[in-house]
Amino acid sequence: MLTKIRAWFSLIAAVWVLMREGVVTALPDEGAPPPVVTAKRIAKLIERRRPPGTTQSKKLGDALGRLGPSWVKLGQFLATRPDIVGKSIAHDLELLQDRMESFPTDQAKAAIRATLGKPVDVLFTSFGEPIAAASIAQVHKATVQGKDGNTRNVAVKVIRPGVRERFAWDLHTFYTAARFVDRWFPVARRLMLVQSVDMLAESARLEMELRLEAAAFSEMADNTKDDPGFRLPAIDWQRTGRDCVTMEWVDGIKMNNHAALVESGHDLNAVADNLIQSFLRHAIRDGFFHADMHPGNLFLDKDGIIVAVDLGIAGRLGKPERRFLAEILYGFIRKDYRRVAEVHFEAGYVPGDKDVESFAQALRAVGEPIYGATAEDIEMGGLLALLFDITEVFEMRTQPQLLLLQKTMVVVEGVARRLNPDFNMWQAAKPVVIPQATRLIGPIGRIDEGIEGVKAFGQLARQAPELAKRAERLSVAVDSMAVNGLHLDDDTIKRLAKAQRRERRWDRVALWVIAISAAIYTATIL
C-alpha cells in the first residue's frame, strides 16, 4: 500500500515537472483525449518562462534530468515509441544521449573494487576522469599492461551508484501510469503500455548488469566475425564484472564528426552502403541487432571499418518476426499487397475478424507512392512507419520489438544519408534483403520450418505421458465441477473481495489527489 501511495505521489510530482518545463504543452493536439487537452491548458498557466528560442529538446532534457536517471532512461526508451509520444517528441528524445552529469571518479573506483575485488591501481596502470556520462553508467579511459609487457588503452564503463535502487522505485511509478491509462482510456490499450514498461524493465535490467552487455558484445562479435567492414571492440573479461566492463579502446573517427570523416579520405558512399547492409544482416540473418546505432556510438577506424560501441540496448527478433520482416519487405518490392496482408494475419498481428482484402487495399495506399518516387526519396524506415500507422485502423496490436527495429532503421538510414546525400536505400539493401528473404521464405526456409515442426513433435511425444495424466486430472476436476459447482473457501472469497475494494478505493483516491493537486498548483500560480 505504501508503495502504491509513493508511486502516485511520484507520478504527480513528475507531471508537475513536465508541466513546468513546457513538455506537456508540446504534446500533439490531433487525436488527443479530453484529459490531455485539459492538462495542456493547465500546463500553459504554470509553465515557467524560458529564454526565446529554447528548443523542445532542451526542455525535455531539463525535465528528465531533474527527474533523475530512470526518467532519462524512460525518455530514451520512448524515443522508440513515436506511436505513443508523437514523432516530434520522439525525435527530441533521441537527443538525450550522454546528457547526464558525471559522478566522482572516486565512486567509480570504489564500484570497480567492489565488483572485481581488487583496487584500481592493481587492475590498471592509469585511470582517467570520465569522458562520457549517460543515465545508467559513465565511461573512463584507462591503460593496462599486457602479458607481453606492452601498455594498451582501454575503455572502462562503470555503473552509476544507486541507479538500480532508484530505478526499481521509479518502475512502480511507470507501471502505475501505464495501468491507469490502460484502465481509463480503452482506446490506448492497443499501445500495450504495461507490456512496454515490461520491455523497459527488462532492457534496463540487462543494461545494469554490465557482464550481460559484455556477453552481448561477445555474441554479436561471433555473429559478425566474417562480415566485411564491421566489427565490435574486444572485451577484457579479466577486468569485467557486474558493475563495470572493460573493452578495447577504439581509435577512430566518430560518425557525428562529418568534417573529419571527409578529411579522412575514405569512400563515404561505400561506408554508407556497408552500414545499412550490416544492420540488415544483424536483424534479418541473426535476429540480434544493435538498437542504439546513433552516430556517437559508431566509429570509422583507419582501415575504413565500422566499429560499434555501447551495446546496452540490443534488439532481438525470433524466426517468426524475421520471416515477417522479410516477407513484407519482399512483398512491397514485388507489389504483392495481398500477400503482405496475409502475412499480417498469419502472424496474428491483425485481428482475424478483419477483412484481408480491405487490409490489402490499405497497404496499397502505403506501397503505391513508393513507385511514383525516386529511390533516393524512399526510406525503408519511413515505409515501416507508414505501415504501422495504417494498421491502427485495423486494430493491429503494437509489436514493441518491431517498433524498436523500425526506430533503429530510421537512425541508421539517417547516418547513411549524412555520409552520402544521394544514398539509394533500396539499391544498398538489395544484396542483403533478397538473399535473406529467399532463405527465410523460400525452399530452405520451408525445410527449416519442417525441421522445427519435427523437433516440436518429438518434444510433444516425450511429454505425452505427463500430458495424459494432466488431462485425466483435469477431466475429473471438470466432471466434479459440473456436478457440484465451483466452490471457493470463505477465506479466498473474503480476500478477493477485499482486494477488489482496495483497488477501486485507491483508484478513486488517486483521481482526487491529481485533481486537488492540479487545482492547488494552478491557484498558487494565479
* Contact by Cβ (8 Å): 214, 240: yes
C-alpha 340/C-alpha 328 separation (Å) is 5
Q: Please pick, among 92, 170, 292, 310, the residue that the annotation labels catalytic.
A: 292
- The DSSP line for 149-192 is S-EEEEEEEEEPTTHHHHHHHHHHHHHHHHHHHHHH-GGGGGG-
Cell numbers for 484? 457440484
Closest listed residue to residue 292, CA positions, set 435, 135, 156: 135
Percentages of the chain per state (helix, strand, coil), in multiples of 5: 65, 10, 25
According to DSSP, the β-strands at 244-248 and 298-300 are: unpaired
Indicate the length of the chain as a whole number.
526
Cell numbers for 138? 559513465
Laid out side by side, the sheet with 137-145 consists of 126-133, 137-145, 151-159, 244-248
Q: Which residues contact 369 (CB under 8 A, 6 or more apart)?
A: none
C-alpha 4/C-alpha 337 separation (Å) is 48
Distances (CA, A) of 396 to 332, 353, 391: 19, 12, 5
* Contact by Cβ (8 Å): 380, 426: yes
450: burial class by Cβ within 10 Å (0-12, 13-18, 19+)? exposed
Cell numbers for 435? 538473399
* Contact by Cβ (8 Å): 274, 228: yes
Alpha-helix residue ranges (DSSP H) falling in 185-245: 193-208, 210-223
Question: Would residue 292 show up in a list of annotated catalytic residues for this protein?
Answer: yes
* Contact by Cβ (8 Å): 306, 253: no
* Contact by Cβ (8 Å): 164, 210: no
Beta bridge partners of 254: 299
Whose grid coordinates read 493536439?
A: 29
Q: Which residues of 304-455 form beta strands (DSSP E)?
A: 306-308, 314-316
According to DSSP, the β-strands at 253-254 and 314-316 are: unpaired
Q: How far apart are the first and last CA of the chain?
A: 34
**How many Å separate Cα 171 from the centre of its chain?**
16
* Contact by Cβ (8 Å): 406, 391: no
- By annotation, the residues acting in catalysis are 292
